[in-house]
Amino acid sequence: MIAFAACVGSEEKFRTLAQPGLRLACEPDSLVAEVTTGSSIFSAYNEVLDAFAERDDLEALVLLHEDLEIVDSDFCGKVRRRLADPDVAIVGVIGGRGVGGLAWWEGEGRGRCLESRGLVDFGGGAHDVDTVDGLLMALSPWAVRNLRFDEQRFSGFHGYDADLCFQARAAGKRVVVDEIGVVHHTKGGYGDMEAYAACDRAFRAKWGLAHPAKEFA
């Protein structure tokens, strides 16, 4: 069974953007959870992981944003085939290698994602990466049972994706991007720049990464 959990801050966005894609992607036995994030996506997503960790029938847990529309009719098939490799812990559609902070796109970009602002294209294909973008993260059963978002060190809505991917790789697992059709209906931007900068500093300190060439705040 492939389960889905959508991070919902706006019910209207979820109903008009994410929900149609979920109807397309879901299989008859799929479960869909709507996650109200409150003040921290870290704690909200951890509740989802805890809820699904004990399910023996779990094949994958897909975390997605409320503005992410799945347009790939073979979505579950692609996720299932990629996670058939027990070394793969996390699958996304876009991410980067040589990542030195939360701004993964300043490294070597991999994957492809259609956004409302245009196509973000790093050549597509399937690649190992340091981190995927949290707009969509398909977690293996191993990841659901063994990884947790670091709500002790981080708060708010930044860095949850990169930190979880770094945890997976530190445990010897793979993080990959693959060709999966989605549309990200985003306006872009960092949101709260001060909060982003604080999470970026905490992330680099945790993983022993060098200071970036530029600071965000």
pLDDT in tens, 169-182: 999 999 999 999 99
**Assessment of whether the complete model's pTM goes beyond 0.75:** yes
Q: Which of 113-138 are b and which e, b meaning 16 or more Cβ less than 10 Å from the residue's Cβ?
A: bbbeeeebebeeeebebbbbbbbbbb
pLDDT of 191 higher than 70? no
> Residue 35: its pLDDT value, please?
87
CA distance 52 to 46: 10
Listed in sequence order, the residues at least 6 apart from 93 whose beta carbon sits closer than 8 Å to its beta carbon are: 111, 112, 113, 132, 133, 135, 136, 177, 178, 180, 182
- pLDDT band for 213, please (50, 70, 90 cuts): very low
Least confident window among 41-45, 55-59, 110-114 = 41-45
- Pick the more confident residue, 175 or 211: 175
Compute the average pLDDT of residues 169-198.
Answer: 89
Structure tokens at 144: 């659901």
The answer to whether residues 93 and 182 touch, using CB atoms and an 8 Å cutoff, is: yes
CATH fold group of domain 2-207: Spore Coat Polysaccharide Biosynthesis Protein SpsA; Chain A (3.90.550)
pLDDT in tens, 61-106: 999 999 999 999 999 999 999 999 999 999 999 999 999 999 999 9
CA distance 4 to 9: 16
Listed in sequence order, the residues at least 6 apart from 100 whose beta carbon sits closer than 8 Å to its beta carbon are: 106, 107, 204, 209, 210, 212
Average pLDDT, the chain: 93
pLDDT in tens, 147-164: 999 999 998 889 999 999
pLDDT in tens, 48-65: 999 999 999 999 999 999
What are the residue boundaries of the structural domains of the chain, listed by start? 2-207
Q: Which of 18-34 are b and which e, b meaning 16 or more Cβ less than 10 Å from the residue's Cβ?
A: bbebbeebbeeebbeee
Other CB atoms within a 10 A radius of the CB of residue 141 amount to 19
CA distance 69 to 17: 6
The answer to whether residues 202 and 154 touch, using CB atoms and an 8 Å cutoff, is: yes
